[in-house]
Structure 1
Amino acid sequence: MADVARAAGVSSATVSYVLSGKRPVAPETRAAVEEAIAELSFTVNVTARSLRTGRSSLVALIVPDIVNPFYAQLAATLQEELRERGLHVVVCNTRARRDEEQTLLAEAVQQRFAGVIITPFRLKPRDFAPIVDAGIPVVVSADVSFGPMDLVTPDARAATRRALEQVAAAQRRRIAMIAGPRDATGGDPRLEHLRALALQLGMALPHDMVVRGEHTREAGAAGFAELMSRRHRPDALFCGNDVIAVGAMEKAHELGFDIPGDVALIGHDDASFASLVRPRLTTIRYPAAEVARAAAQLLTERLDGRKVHKTVRVKAEFVARASV
């Protein structure tokens, strides 16, 4: 940096401000520094910076299924948002396994990551104690809180109600759901909200009309086959996410059921493929890009010194398409 400063005729501090973006620099000064950087082929020594500051420039994004387009979009937007702040995202896939989640949190502590953004699946609140004690900021993206950490969470009640009203308008009354596994530590608020809102609208979601499984296409296919083999079949099926819904749709085609003729199908998240499958999937949109922007903002606020934990609710939206 001293060499760049001499070539540009500025102080080393000014070069640092240009590189970090932490303070405004006059456009002509910035241009002179950037020209000197290019001429000298200067690159930042990230390891040296980390040793000096005591903090890495890396942020761990820990998700249960990177193959799910929701998390792919989350990662892409988060990378864009944090790069502007001089931070870099390392994507970590847990496959929804508790041991993987625990290992990745421990590695974030060992490597002194700048922060962690995580969608926990089987972690318990106590599992976060070591990383919180280490002073590493954590942002949880989940339907429920996991303790004294920043939280990005969906506000989906209005959208779920609209989905139920659409189902009722289509003269459907026997609703069912393919929900997540019983041992997901955040419970299943999507199921709980659906059941409560159905009762308000004079509908019912009996316990025997709920099947559970992982958030996968295979679980969607198996759940659909189980529900449609029963004597009293559902005529409307809600799914914990769009990946489950696509598995259900594939099994419906295989078994000769028509969607929405025999059964209406509703997903959750509005993943990129939801408008591409046939019939196009009716779903509840939980915008991954907005979730990423909210998480990035919370994390950078914590890195800038905010002490009080915050919760950001991202509004979900009902998207009517052809599967109802």
Structure 2
Amino acid sequence: MDRVTMADVAKAAGVSVATVSYVLSGKRPVRPETRVAVEAAIRQLGFTLNSAARSLRTGRSALVGLVVPDLANPFFAQLASALQEHVRDLGLHVVVCNTRADRREELAFVREAVQQQFAGVVITPFRLVAKDLKPLEDAGVPVVVSADIRLDGVDRVEPEARAAMRAALTAVTASGRRRIAMIAGPRDATGGDPRLELLRALTGQFGTVLPHGMVVRGEHTREAGAAGFGQLMGLRHPPDAVFCANDVIAVGAMGRAEELGLRIPGDVSLIGYDDADFASLVRPRLTTIRYPAGAVGAAAARLLRERMDGRSVPKTLRVGAEFVERESV
């Protein structure tokens, strides 16, 4: 027989899962008649708290760790804000852990989450593999991986970006540009670089290719963007359109273009990824693929809630990406 969950109790009592959480944790006041209905449903269904929900009641931990590779990237600040908004109803608070894309830092935060008995962890791993997350699973800490990489056995939030990337290529090639390049992430990043793989898979549909010589790699930083763009422009036949693994890289590329006396988009088109806040503020305004941080945070919170309610089978939620055309194409 399947274990009774908080969702079952909520349905039987005619209230939300959040209200059931309030009754169990005592974090917020609940009307007496609502409390009576919830407690009656608990007795009727034989509901018992799992370890994560029990931690709310005992006060052992009310923390959710958000583990990210670069807090200087505004996308992750937006993600933190959205995640906090959506776990607040559970009486939880988000602690942001900045790893600087360093594997040792990532492992250290995993150990800390286990030791401090975090209520959950949302992580964008940069150099971790699936087995590195097993201590969290063994400790009963719900884990959500927020990244477009393949990690088996864990809950994941990932982008659905094929249509957006196709729209970006349509806009780029409509002006006759065919020499496509990309400033991608490092070779040793967990799961490779799915954004590079997607771009490469789609270029053939537009009468062009993405050869290995048109791909440069580096960290997801402004400095790497500047260096990568300079390297591409130094080729005998430089590209006339450059895709970037994120907006931070794109802004670095934009700065190097100015130093080289190149016009964007006159000499070369530039396309980012994420649609961070600054993308619409730089000049020219950055054309990009929007991966909405708010929706990512909501999806991660939903997966955490379901785990706390007793779901045991790993689940993936896909968040739609959107092409945003501005002035750099």
Q: In which range does the TM-score fall when normalised by the shorter chain?
A: 0.7 to 0.9
Q: Distance in 2 between matches of 1:235 and 1:51?
A: 55
Match of 2:137 in 1: 132
Aligned residue type for 1:117: V
Identify the match of residue 298 of structure 1 among 289, 303, 307: 303
Q: Distance in 2 between matches of 1:179 and 1:16?
A: 48
The answer (yes or no) to whether the contact 2:143–2:304 under 8 Å persists in 1 is: yes
Is 1:25 equivalent to 2:39 in the alignment?
no
Identity over the aligned pairs, expressed in percent?
68
- SS at 2:165's partner residue? helix
Q: Which moved more, 1:175-184 or 1:194-203?
A: 194-203
- SS at 1:269's partner residue? coil
Match of 2:328 in 1: 323
What's the offset of the Cα at 1:78? 0.9
Greater gyration radius = 1
Match of 2:247 in 1: 242
Q: Distance in 1 between matches of 2:57 and 2:299?
A: 29
Q: Distance in 1 between matches of 2:161 and 2:171?
A: 15
Identify the match of residue 110 of structure 1 among 110, 115, 130: 115
- SS at 1:215's partner residue? coil
- SS at 1:154's partner residue? strand
Give the 3 Å change call, closer, same or farther, for CA 284–51 of structure 1 in structure 2: closer
Match of 1:58 in 2: 63
Give runs of aligned pairs for residues 167-246 of structure 1, distance below 5 A: 167-246=172-251
Match of 2:48 in 1: none
Report the TM-score, using the length of structure 1 for normalisation. 0.86
Aligned residue type for 1:64: P
Identify the match of residue 74 of structure 2 among 69, 72, 79: 69
- SS at 1:203's partner residue? coil
Aligned residue type for 2:301: A
Q: Distance in 2 between matches of 1:135 and 1:271?
A: 34
What's the offset of the Cα at 1:247? 0.1
Consecutive unaligned residues of structure 1, counting only runs of 5 or more, are 1-14, 30-48
1:34-72: per-residue Cα shift (whole Å, max 9, x none)? Answer: xxxxxxxxxxxxxxx959738511110000001100000
Q: Distance in 2 between matches of 1:50 and 1:162?
A: 46
The answer (yes or no) to whether the contact 1:176–1:237 under 8 Å persists in 2 is: yes
Aligned residue type for 1:80: E
Give runs of aligned pairs for residues 84-123 of structure 1, distance below 5 A: 84-123=89-128
Q: Distance in 2 between matches of 1:198 and 1:186?
A: 21
Aligned residue type for 1:84: D
- SS at 1:108's partner residue? helix
Match of 1:149 in 2: 154
Match of 2:40 in 1: none
The answer (yes or no) to whether the contact 1:17–1:25 under 8 Å persists in 2 is: no
Q: Distance in 1 between matches of 2:276 and 2:314?
A: 29
The answer (yes or no) to whether the contact 2:182–2:243 under 8 Å persists in 1 is: yes
Report the TM-score, using the length of structure 2 for normalisation. 0.84
Give the 3 Å change call, closer, same or farther, for CA 27–264 of structure 1 in structure 2: farther
Give the 3 Å change call, closer, same or farther, for CA 207–19 of structure 1 in structure 2: same
What's the offset of the Cα at 1:230? 1.1
The answer (yes or no) to whether the contact 1:63–1:94 under 8 Å persists in 2 is: yes
What's the offset of the Cα at 1:196? 0.8
1:153-183: per-residue Cα shift (whole Å, max 9, x none)? Answer: 0000110000001011011000100000000
